[in-house]
Amino acid sequence: MAPEDLKLAEKNAATSPQTKSKEGVLLVGMDLGCYKTSVAATNGSREHVHSIVGWPKDPIARKMIGKDVVFGNEAYHHRLALETIRPFEKGALKYTDSQDAGVPKERLARYKEAARELVRHAVHLCRPPKGTLVHGVIGAPAKASIVNKQQLIEACKGIFDSVMIVSEPFAVGYGMNMLEDCLVVDIGAGTTDLCRMHGTMPEEDDQITVTIAGDYVDEYATNLIKKAHPTSQFTVNMVRDAKERFSFVHEVNDKGLVTWPDKDGHPTEYDITGQLKEACRQLVPPIVQGLRKLVSTYDAEFQKRMLNNILLAGGGSQLRGLDRLIEEDLKQYGGGRVTRVPEPVYAGANGALKLATDMPDDYWTEVK
Amino acid sequence: MPESPAGQPDPPERESRMIDVRGMIKQASTRVRVDQLVKKGTKYLSLLSKEKIDELINQAVKNIVDKYRAVAAGVGDVPTETLQGEAKQEFNELLGQYQATNKAKNELELTKQNLDKELEDLRADLAKQKEIASGKAIEQAEHALVVGFKEFERELDRIVVRVFEKRKMILEQSESPETVAELDQIREKLRKMISDLVGLERHRFALAGGDARDMQIAMMEKRIEKLYEQIQAMENALRTISNSKLYSNQQLQNLLRQLGLVTDDKYFEKKREMLKVVLQQNLDLRKRIKELDGGDSNGAAPQAVDKPAVV
């Protein structure tokens, strides 16, 4: 064997799974959200990061930021000096056709690169020791297509040693140990996923995905506010911030007051209570419609039990009053009980991690 | 290695046997000498008896037949390929389970040995502690304690005497004899006080030491009790594994639960099935992706030109 070949063989051997496996295995559960990505790992790490990736626009920006690629809040704060991409915005790559998500053909490769960088960063946040095998379970929208799942798998290539894709709402239900007669509603930024859990693996008919979710609410609210306060100056990010602070869908006495610049740049107080409320309420009809569909097509004997077992997860579940509004609507079916998951941000990642830890070791080698 | 040792007669055939596995194995296998294998570089051999293979195959076939009986389809309606395939898969699963059980058995035996050793050490420690507590060694300990405190008392006394002697010398030169006599009285009183104080402390120390020892013994006894319980459960588990048929593992589960190795999860079986489905879905997904890549070399991702989703 030539010395070059020998060196190459040694190098390969050093990074081969057999050599690496001696160091141990890190299992990671990941919820690649359109707005936030959360990870949980078996070494106790639990982190979340905004799903935004940024590259410096020019050498000056590179010098100022001091990094080739930035993520999350940092990317968000320096977005004017960066070329920023939210790789999963409006369900892009994950659920919708890239055309529907507004991704231009020539930029698709850049979106995929951003997704890859984001996955790499999320795994890095778990601090895997050098030489550790990293196995992961990643949540995908309930009705993601083969192409979407392929894009997710590609984003994980070289970062995970092996990876499995599972339905996001299923991961939530699994994580909460609610596997029977239960309905999971996972309200994310890009998609709202509904899943009927009936003790076996949910099938096609047990799951519904709709694109009316957080991003849709933000846009809807932006349009309403523009109409109501034409002199105000704001961006969709400012609307999102306001939504996170004041969002509610039920009758409450809170007021959504924001101080935004007017057309002359003077800070002015605007009341956006009505607009936010109306925008947030847009989420309710598709959810209720989906619930109705899933319940009405379920075995009549168990419908009541399922109605009393509705689980709200995802960032959208934090909307105040959403649970009560759904319960009110369900009264026509004899009532129901809606519960929120304790940790909306981590519910998906926790469930995915639980799946990863329960997975027998040999399964990982099969999907390598 | 399905061959039985040379010259050893095969056990009598069972009446319930469905397939002549032993005969088939004999026909299909080749006899190889162990030293030949060693020459070839084989270091380890996995041994599986003909009886076990027979049992596993019969169990696999029986399971598949039962399965079709249960769904009232009738074995006759099922294509032979399906039956063969499923029986093979079932056999592999059973073989895997058997190997895993065997491995677990060996590990349990090893753990038992370790526990026995630790228990022996503990017993020795406890015996020593009990000896001390019952008085055999207490005299030695007490002696050491008394000697130590006596030394300390003597040293204190020497210091007091030295201090008072110096003071006395100074007083003798300048003060009256009454003052010197008074100093002598004070010195005696002080020496008595110190002696009493040291005695009291010695008593307190001995009491405290005794309490701590009692506590230690109690803790050790508790540990031993716990270890005995664990060993008992482990021995039961070993016995069950040794005699168990692969499909009656409820008792084994109970024993493992007793050992704290199994957590109660009412969805355990369901989860296992779900994980299998997750794996299958992921394998199918990869297969379909490969097909997709083969069919569309330009990349199958749907693309469009619209407003960019850039923040």
For chain B, how big is the Rg over CA atoms in Å? 41
Task: Give me the domain span that covers residue A59.
Answer: 22-173+347-366
- Report the distance separating Cα B231 and Cα B253, nearest Å: 16
Q: What is the pLDDT of residue A230?
A: 92
- Report the distance separating Cα A194 and Cα A290, nearest Å: 7
CB contact under 8 A, A100 and B270: no
**Which of B267, B281, B301 shows the shortest C-beta gap to A108?**
B301
- Tens of pLDDT along A82-122? 998 888 876 667 666 666 656 677 777 888 889 899 999 99
Which of chain B's residues have a Cβ under 8 Å away from the Cβ of A108?
A: 301, 303
Min Cα distance B70 → chain A (Å) is: 20
Q: For B187, what's the count of Cα atoms within 13 Å in the CB-facing half-sphere?
A: 19
**B285: contact with A, CB 8 A cutoff:** yes
Min Cα distance A199 → chain B (Å) is: 7
Q: CB under 8 Å to B181, separation ≥6 — which residues?
A: none
CATH of the domain at A227: 3.30.420.40
**B274: contact with A, CB 8 A cutoff:** yes
Which of these three, A243, A260, A281, is where a domain ends?
Answer: A281
Q: DSSP string of A83-102?
A: EEE-TTGGGTTTTS-TTTTT
- Report the distance separating Cα B91 and Cα A226, nearest Å: 68
**Does A299 fall in a domain?**
no
Inform me whether the pLDDT recorded for B236 exceeds 60.
Answer: yes
Q: What is the pLDDT of residue B263?
A: 61
- Report the distance separating Cα B238 and Cα A282, nearest Å: 61
Inform me whether the pLDDT recorded for A294 exceeds 50.
Answer: yes
Counting one residue from A and one from B, how many pairs have CB atoms under 8 Å apart?
Answer: 112
Q: How many CB atoms neighbour CB A115 within 10 A? A: 26
Segment A146-160 mean pLDDT = 86
Which of chain B's residues have a Cβ under 8 Å away from the Cβ of A165?
A: 282, 285
pLDDT band, residue A193 (cuts 50/70/90): confident
Which of chain A's residues have a Cβ under 8 Å away from the Cβ of B303?
A: 98-99, 103, 105, 108
- Residue tagged 């405190």 (tokens): B149
pLDDT band, residue B307 (cuts 50/70/90): very low
**B27: contact with A, CB 8 A cutoff:** no
Which of chain A's residues have a Cβ under 8 Å away from the Cβ of B275?
A: 355, 358-360, 363
Is residue B301 a contact partner of residue A147, using CB atoms and an 8 Å limit?
A: yes
Is residue B267 a contact partner of residue A179, using CB atoms and an 8 Å limit?
A: yes
Q: What is the pLDDT of residue A98?
A: 61
Q: What is the pLDDT of residue B297?
A: 44
| Ranges of H-type helices in B135-246 | 138-174, 177-243
CB contact under 8 A, B304 and A86: no
**B100: contact with A, CB 8 A cutoff:** no
Inform me whether the pLDDT recorded for A8 exceeds 50.
Answer: no
Inform me whether the pLDDT recorded for B133 exceeds 90.
Answer: no
CB contact under 8 A, A200 and B274: yes
Q: DSSP string of A290-351?
A: HHHHHHHTS-GGGHHHHHT-EEEESGGGGSBTHHHHHHHHGGGGT---EEE-S-TTTHHHHH
Inform me whether the pLDDT recorded for A16 exceeds 60.
Answer: no
What is residue A242's three-state secondary structure? helix
- Tens of pLDDT along A209-238? 888 888 899 999 999 999 999 999 998 889
Q: Are residues A57 and A162 in the same domain?
A: yes
Which of these three, A245, A266, A281, is where a domain ends?
Answer: A281
Mean pLDDT, chain B, whole residue set: 70
Q: What is the pLDDT of residue A351?
A: 93
The token pair at A278 is 């109306």
Q: Which amino acid is at B7?
A: G
Q: Which amino acid is at A186?
A: D
Inform me whether the pLDDT recorded for B222 exceeds 70.
Answer: yes
Q: What is the pLDDT of residue B256?
A: 67
For A66: left if phi > 0, alpha if psi spans -120 to 50, otherwise beta; the answer is: left
Which of chain B's residues have a Cβ under 8 Å away from the Cβ of A84?
A: 310-311
Percentage, residues of chain B above pLDDT 90: 1
Q: What is the pLDDT of residue B183?
A: 73
Is residue A104 a contact partner of residue A131, using CB atoms and an 8 Å limit?
A: no
**Does A17 fall in a domain?**
no
Q: With the C-alpha atoms ordered B284, B285, B290, B294, is the resulting torsion angle positive or negative?
A: positive
Which of chain B's residues have a Cβ under 8 Å away from the Cβ of A199?
A: 267, 270
Which of these three, A249, A264, A281, is where a domain ends?
Answer: A281
The token pair at A305 is 């039990």
Segment A185-190 mean pLDDT = 88
Residue A316, class by beta-carbon neighbours within 10 Å (0-12 exposed, 13-18 middle, 19+ buried)? Answer: buried
Inform me whether the pLDDT recorded for B219 exceeds 70.
Answer: yes
Q: Are residues A48 and A121 in the same domain?
A: yes
- Report the distance separating Cα B196 and Cα B21, nearest Å: 91
User: If we measure between CA atoms, which residue out of A212, A84, A209 comes closest to residue A144?
Assistant: A209
- Tens of pLDDT along B72-81? 555 556 677 7
The widest CA-to-CA distance across chain B, in whole angstroms, is 130
Q: Are residues A256 and A116 in the same domain?
A: no
Q: Are residues A162 and A57 in the same domain?
A: yes
**Does A204 fall in a domain?**
no
Q: What is the domain partition of chain B in residue ranges?
A: 115-243, 249-287
Percentage, residues of chain B above pLDDT 70: 66
Inform me whether the pLDDT recorded for B243 exceeds 50.
Answer: yes
Pick A172 or B57 by higher pLDDT. A172
Q: Are residues A271 and A357 in the same domain?
A: no
Q: What is the pLDDT of residue A223?
A: 94
Q: Are residues A101 and A158 in the same domain?
A: yes
Min Cα distance B95 → chain A (Å) is: 15
pLDDT band, residue A10 (cuts 50/70/90): very low
pLDDT band, residue A1 (cuts 50/70/90): very low
Q: DSSP string of A103-156?
A: --GGGHHHHHHHHHHHHHHHHHHT-PPTT-EEEEEEEE-TT--HHHHHHHHHHH
Q: Are residues A161 and A218 in the same domain?
A: no
Which of chain B's residues have a Cβ under 8 Å away from the Cβ of A83?
A: 310
- Report the distance separating Cα A145 and Cα A91, nearest Å: 12
**Does A102 fall in a domain?**
yes
**Residue A48 phi, psi dihedral angles, 5° rounding:** -140, 155
Min Cα distance B114 → chain A (Å) is: 24
Tally of domains in chain A: 2
User: If we measure between CA atoms, which residue out of B118, B306, B142, B113 comes closest to residue B224?
Assistant: B118
User: If we measure between CA atoms, which residue out of A167, A96, A234, A187 comes closest to residue B309?
Assistant: A96
**Which of A90, A100, A146 shows the shortest C-beta gap to B289?**
A146
Which of chain A's residues have a Cβ under 8 Å away from the Cβ of B283?
A: 366-367
Q: How many CB atoms neighbour CB A161 within 10 A? A: 20
The token pair at A36 is 């936030």
Q: What is the pLDDT of residue A324?
A: 87
- Tens of pLDDT along A322-349? 888 888 888 877 788 999 998 888 999 9
Q: Which of A176-185, A253-262, A309-318 has the lowest mean pLDDT?
A: A253-262
- Report the distance separating Cα B191 and Cα B161, nearest Å: 8
- Report the distance separating Cα B121 and Cα B194, nearest Å: 44
Chain A, nearest residue to B277 by Cα: A201
pLDDT band, residue B306 (cuts 50/70/90): very low
- Tens of pLDDT along B173-193? 766 777 777 777 777 777 777
Q: What is the pLDDT of residue B139?
A: 65
**Which of B267, B275, B309 shows the shortest C-beta gap to A101?**
B309
Q: Are residues A230 and A126 in the same domain?
A: no
Q: Are residues A240 and A159 in the same domain?
A: no
Is residue A174 a contact partner of residue A180, using CB atoms and an 8 Å limit?
A: no
- Tens of pLDDT along B2-54? 444 444 444 444 444 556 667 777 777 777 888 888 887 777 777 777 777 77
User: If we measure between CA atoms, which residue out of A195, A241, A223, A213 comes closest to residue A91?
Assistant: A213
**Does A6 fall in a domain?**
no
**B308: contact with A, CB 8 A cutoff:** yes
Pick B163 or A278 by higher pLDDT. A278
Q: Which of B282, B287, B292, B296 to mutate to test the interface with A (most CBs of A within 10 A)?
A: B282
Q: Are residues A167 and A268 in the same domain?
A: no
Q: Which amino acid is at A124?
A: H
The token pair at A213 is 């979710």
Torsion angle, alpha carbons of B16, B18, B19, B23, to 10: 10
